Structure 1
């Protein structure tokens, strides 16, 4: 059997999905709709009922395992992408069979900016927001932190249903199969209905399902297990009882055909992409996750002691972009990203963020004081005070102060006129696919931000200090 270390390295693409009889006997492969270093995505038709699906061939063991593990936990949750089944064997890549969702929120934003004369109406914006919050709430109630929320990972069906996808970087902050309820941990058995309705592949990854409910304010890796590594060690593909396992799994933007990153989720470049997510063997978290423009400040400062709140910061950035049709903090490097955040919101300090001095890189990277931050109002000039306030409730430096998804679902803004439009009134832009498209960059709109250079910052002073160096910008 191939070791996990071997699985986690880039694999040859010579293993064609077309040669796998267990797949082609059940699915007619129509076309390849996306390709990258670590995944290939195909549009296919299920032979039994002619349903269109997406087949995602994942060339990385850990990414496939995490996607399957996360969506096993989130099976049938609202606004979470659905996996029908998956194929797994020792000598082949995992192939996830997912619902086919043809477009994404990034395409909606682009159409609102460039194609629709009236942009995106307030009622449409609210309906998109409600669906995003419902998906995030479902994920967080089950202790799943997504770690890479962005418009291109929010997929949309032809009838306007938005679903969160691309769980390749997700982590479950409690071991699957247990519920944290009022301080008591209880076992949670796998729903029988799932075992009955999901088809069994020849070999499956060991996924232990269950609902994981936890109040998520302040939840972090020190308060609950970051990843069920002991369970991983206990159950392996060779010794699992296949007949007792239900194998609903994860979806990703690739698998469900959104224009996003189709490369190694642990080896990304410093552009509009996610970054290396190496484990230390103990299931601890890493700060190098998520796409930079949507990355929370604690991650930019190297924190590994974070929780579900990093997703809430990302949601705030997404909401701002949905309202203004422009990215809020389009940093060209991590340092540039912090600089753009501080120029709008001001500097971090113990006064606004108690404990920020303990962040790993706080004493290594320092900025000159921003005397007059421009504020969100200056970037959202044409939006109402209620809309700006909604974004402010998410873009708090102190993670504990960020509004939860459920709190925002009850926010007055989303429950007053104009109300969210019905799904049938949402405008859905088509997605044009290039079969040989390399999705390593978010879209052409973002190619100007590929560089990791800090040259845009102008004059800087680097000073050696006890913990390494300090970068101060004038």
Structure 2
């Protein structure tokens, strides 16, 4: 008699359908479901109570079913894939969904596991809300090698501002019509090739991809080698100009949202061994959807461990850490956290926290705010290069609390940790993100609920409404007849031939 062969799918359709209702098949469902559960969960309590004898009995029953199937189909040699499909053991759960849907035994096992698996505990409302504000950075894309396009592909609309390392323009992509920001690097006076600051900025912006860091689209060039532009997303506002036009400071809920986004971006930079070295409100951009974007990486650079010597002439004066003012050559991410503390104070009070005119004046303002440092609170302070040349301020107490009378205790604790003298004790960005200040009431506001303002960079202007003048009809009362005098103060006033005041149209 000719031997009949079966495909794996035919074996499932014919055999397993018959074995579904058999007692042996039903007995095998329970241990198989447990086997799958133990594979994905960590040390279940039910699995720990199963005895060794039950495991051996279950294994014997599976082997018995397997041997009977081989005899029934008269197949002396069965492939490994066929055995896995016939016997719903642990390996059957690793197959594709299309394969599992064919098996009538795998389906009830899956249903039983889904119902027996405990539902995950719901996360706290505060944590989920903060995570919605702080968005994780996307996975980095592989680098692409391509030639730079010409700046002629963009139409210049207007000039936005000029900084120390470039001029920013608003432009429109001629192909797509999208409005972008073009930053022209200042290379006219360079005699030693491409400047290292511009090279670091381009490299850092292309490397640091984060929802709260300005996105760089491409690099375009002009007709000469000195015309190099960085094409970035256009953002409507910068915080410094925006706060100057605001009548009142940001709400506490809005301050928390801004700080969470800023700390998230700074934490990402520090995790990738990058120091910004110029964090300030004018370098923080805010769009009309309540999203903060860190910009201007002209002074950013990578650092390593152990720390090597770096220049201390970094960071705008108002946001410069005291160790930089005192001439240290070795510093790390703590200088960025001091700048974050100054930004925090500026957001709360709507004015710069330490607006010094010179380095000495800046140190004096710091000492008057936080007290004179010493070796006890700042080990190594006296060994800094400029520590002996600064004037001694006879003030040992801290006046930080008087500058923020309406800040909560947790908020004051956060700004105090950000403005700590000792860099090694200064709070990090990762630690600041977990501070209880962001989980207390009022909770951070959803960025989508932020108000919108007219964009200066976009050429928008605030609408002004001219208030009407007061009516002067009283000056001509004696000239009115008796009928017109009876209409004074009503909506029918001045509807006659004489016009002694403003006319109300009906």
Q: Shared fold (TM-score greater than 0.5)?
A: yes
Q: Counterpart of 1:63?
A: 197
Give the deviation of 1:57 after TM superposition: 0.8
| CA separation of 1:429 and 1:85: change in aligned 2, threshold 3 A | same
1:44·1:53 contact (CA, 8 Å) conserved in 2? Answer: yes
1:146·1:311 contact (CA, 8 Å) conserved in 2? Answer: yes
How does 1:265-344 map onto structure 2 within 5 Å? 284-344=309-369
- 5+ long unaligned stretches in structure 1: 1-20, 175-218, 227-283, 436-474
Distance 1:49 1:431 in 2: 22
Q: Counterpart of 1:85?
A: 218
**Which shifted more, 56-65 or 140-149?**
56-65
Q: Counterpart of 1:245?
A: none
Give the deviation of 1:322 after TM superposition: 0.7
Distance 1:391 1:37 in 2: 29
2:216·2:232 contact (CA, 8 Å) conserved in 1? Answer: yes
Give the deviation of 1:87 after TM superposition: 2.7
1:157 aligns with 2:291: no
In structure 2, which of residues 241, 253, 266 is the aligned counterpart of residue 136 of structure 1?
Answer: 266
1:156-191 deviations in whole A, cap 9, x for unaligned?
A: 1121110111100111114xxxxxxxxxxxxxxxxx
Q: Counterpart of 2:144?
A: none
1:292·1:331 contact (CA, 8 Å) conserved in 2? Answer: yes
1:78·1:138 contact (CA, 8 Å) conserved in 2? Answer: no
SS in structure 1 at match of 2:338: helix
Stretches (4+) displaced over 3 A = 35-38
Q: Counterpart of 2:389?
A: 364
More helix by share: 2
Give the deviation of 1:88 after TM superposition: 5.0
Give the deviation of 1:389 after TM superposition: 1.1
1:108·1:428 contact (CA, 8 Å) conserved in 2? Answer: no
Q: Counterpart of 2:206?
A: 72
* Structure 2 length-normalised TM: 0.57
How does 1:155-234 map onto structure 2 within 5 Å? 155-174=285-304, 223-224=306-307
- 5+ long unaligned stretches in structure 2: 1-147, 188-194, 460-506
Distance 1:58 1:418 in 2: 42
Q: Counterpart of 2:428?
A: 404
Give the deviation of 1:121 after TM superposition: 1.4
More strand by share: 1
Greater relative contact order structure (CA < 8 Å, 6+ sep): 1
In structure 2, which of residues 377, 380, 392 is the aligned counterpart of residue 355 of structure 1?
Answer: 380
Aligned residues: 304
1:281-323 deviations in whole A, cap 9, x for unaligned?
A: xxx4111111111100000001111111100000001001111
SS in structure 2 at match of 1:393: helix
1:41·1:57 contact (CA, 8 Å) conserved in 2? Answer: yes
1:383-438 deviations in whole A, cap 9, x for unaligned?
A: 22221111001000000111111111111110222111111111233332599xxx
2:151·2:229 contact (CA, 8 Å) conserved in 1? Answer: no
Q: Report the RMSD for the aligned CA atoms in angstroms.
A: 2.1
SS in structure 2 at match of 1:320: helix
